[in-house]
Structure 1
Amino acid sequence: MSKNLIGIDLGGTTTKMAFVSPDGDIMNKWKIPTDISDEGGHIVPNIIDSIQQEIKDSNFSIDDFTGIGMGTPGAVNIDAGTVIGAYNLNWVKKQNVRDQIQGALGLPFVLENDANVAALGEYWKGAGERDNDVVFVTLGTGVGGGVILGGHLIHGINGGAGEIGHVTVEQDGYQCTCGKKGCLETYASATGVVHVASDMAAEFTGTSRLKEMEDSGEDITSKIVFYLADNGDILANQIVDRVTRYLGLALGNVANTINPANIIIGGGVSNAGNTLLQPTTRYFQETAFKSVRDSTKLRLAQLGNDAGAIGAASLALQYANKMN
């Protein structure tokens, strides 16, 4: 009988964890705050303590599990099991994550980039429908991506595959934290939508609730922009049109390159649903080559906040199968 798996989805504010069956079904899930104090030195010990406590409280034993997978921000060295440069975790120096967790819990441990892990989750149990060729793009604080071809994650020569957020969509556009200008991330992330909204509101002369909010200094979020667009606000619809034009352009070019079965859109911005998906699909179809347009489908992610933990568990399963 196959053993269960442990999945960890490490984020800047919350760490989500789950016990997952070999079939990808969540049996237990929980979360803890991510303590980034002291250069992130408490993060891994807190994860270890939490897993040990959950195993005890759930009447499992460590022998009921075959391995642990984890998705994390930052630059990941999969072979070494280390992370560096996860600045939202205060991990500036190299972190020997695998040595700590594997040493404390005694289970094989696999580490991967968080966007790749979310892609694996959707591929395994979500909108990917187990197609062998799937692209996942996550629209959150930034824009991340993961590419699965032939059933395998693609990393590239230096781990840079799937950096969809840094596809250039506007020459000499907004400055990106990566050092380039005009990256998709600067327009289609949650913060990017707010930036676009601020600039377009400054030039807008018509009647708009969003314009009133901007002028009065109220906090604007991407959720508010899409809500107002859905309710007929002219300015909000113009902002959504611009954001989805850039997103459709980027995804069309990705599809022209690898022609996946599905491109899955997840992350907080994707909660806008069809208000995001329909115009993005229209611009995607304008950009994509005909045979690609007819075969690659854009879909919304299905797993929500569970994608990372499920995908991380699938990493552990893949590793276990490789070892057997």
Structure 2
Amino acid sequence: MKFNKPILGLDIGGTNIKGGVLIGEVLLDIRSVPTPANESQEIVLETIAEFIATYQHHGIGAIGIGIPGLVDVENGIVLNLCNIPSFRKVSLKDFLEHKFNLPVTVNNDANCFILGEHRFGTAKKYKHLVGITLGTGLGAGIIVNNHLYNGVNSAAGEWCSVKYLDNTFEDYCSSKFFISEFGKKPKSLAKLAEAGDPMALDAFAQFGKHLGELVKNILYTLAPEAIVFGGSIRKAFPYFKDSMYKTLESFLYPSVKENLKIVISELDETGISGAVALVEEYIDLEA
């Protein structure tokens, strides 16, 4: 069943607050405003509310919100928000529901990513699915039996913090690896790799090896049907896929490995798409 009114999706980050409206099956009116990241909690809340108000002419029926931090999903309380120091233990759901008299649901942005992929992306046919965002940091979301698995405070799938080598997986499977080991951002290294630069090609080969170890960890834990890569680094997949698959050869259960599908996200605005998908996942559509 689909929600019969337009759904507003918000992707709240430390730099911008982005929004879009799902009308039928089409995401429309996508825009953003700067996030007042260093201001008080009250100013951040009012900025979010003012932005939402600009969408009211669409006849919004519900609001879904993704944030880069931990969330008490049941109560819609933001426990922390990355890059916005004042946003701690904020009852965002209650604040917005009282202000707009609309149902609101809030979740972690990596969870929104995988939910959006499962609802709108090329991974919609899989019922057991993990989404990995490869960008400035490392994020993950989990779909089990066609539904989002949050764990406590939306913290399921936090492989970013799992110890790996001398640090964590995030230090080896995100932009942090390229900057610390090669002194360059992955986007510039990808351009060099495209031109055949040996150093850049080696950087991605090493990255693929580390990512392969992360994938093995996920397979041992959840044995999903598919893993979806999102985030900006996914665009360099041709340069790290061989070393990643080579690393997967040492995985101990061939039947699990051979059935795994690696999918590269093709969705635009995955944060907003996932935020609107939250409404169908958590809000009673009959109400």
- Give the TM-score, by structure 1 length: 0.81
Q: CA deviation at 1:233?
A: 1.7
Q: CA deviation at 1:76?
A: 0.7
Q: What is the distance in 1 between the residues matched to 2:157 and 2:43?
A: 30
Aligned to 1:213: none
Matched, 1:124 2:119: yes
Matched, 1:291 2:255: yes
Q: What is the distance in 2 between the residues matched to 1:239 and 1:22?
A: 43
Give the letter aligned to residue 8 of structure 1. Answer: L
Structure 2, unaligned stretches of length 5 or more? none
Q: What is the distance in 1 between the residues matched to 2:151 and 2:221?
A: 14
Measured on the aligned residues, the alpha-carbon RMSD in Å equals 2.0
Aligned to 2:236: 272
Q: What is the distance in 1 between the residues matched to 2:11 and 2:232?
A: 15
Q: CA deviation at 1:92?
A: 4.9
Runs of 4 or more above 4 Å deviation: none
* Inter-CA distance 91–295: structure 2 relative to 1 (3 Å threshold): farther
Q: Deviations over 1:234-260 (max 9, x none)?
A: 222222111110101111221232221
1:50-199 correspondence runs (5 A): 50-56=51-57, 60-61=58-59, 65-157=60-152, 159-170=154-165, 173=166, 182-198=167-183
Q: What is the distance in 2 between the residues matched to 1:288 and 1:106?
A: 53
Aligned to 2:29: 28
Give the letter aligned to residue 10 of structure 2. Answer: I
* Inter-CA distance 288–46: structure 2 relative to 1 (3 Å threshold): farther
Aligned to 1:261: 225
Give the letter aligned to residue 137 of structure 1. Answer: I
Contact 2:73 2:154 in 1 (8 A): no
Q: What is the distance in 2 between the residues matched to 1:288 and 1:7?
A: 41
Aligned-partner SS, 1:112: strand
Q: CA deviation at 1:153?
A: 1.4
Give the letter aligned to residue 108 of structure 1. Answer: P
Q: Deviations over 1:87-114 (max 9, x none)?
A: 4012353212112211111110001011
Aligned-partner SS, 2:40: helix
Contact 1:84 1:91 in 2 (8 A): no
Give the letter aligned to residue 176 of structure 2. Answer: T
Aligned-partner SS, 1:9: strand
Aligned to 2:191: 227
Matched, 1:310 2:273: yes
* Inter-CA distance 250–31: structure 2 relative to 1 (3 Å threshold): same
Aligned-partner SS, 2:141: strand
Q: Deviations over 1:194-231 (max 9, x none)?
A: 11214xxxxxxxxxxxxxxxxxxxxx211112222232
Q: CA deviation at 1:120?
A: 0.5
Sequence identity, in percent? Answer: 27
Q: What is the distance in 2 between the residues matched to 1:158 and 1:20?
A: 26
Q: What is the distance in 1 between the residues matched to 2:87 and 2:63?
A: 24
Structure 1, unaligned stretches of length 5 or more? 174-181, 199-219
Contact 2:65 2:275 in 1 (8 A): yes
Aligned to 1:242: 206
CA radius of gyration, larger in: 1
Q: CA deviation at 1:42?
A: 2.3
* Inter-CA distance 193–96: structure 2 relative to 1 (3 Å threshold): same
> What is the number of residues matched between the two proteins?
285
Contact 1:169 1:249 in 2 (8 A): no
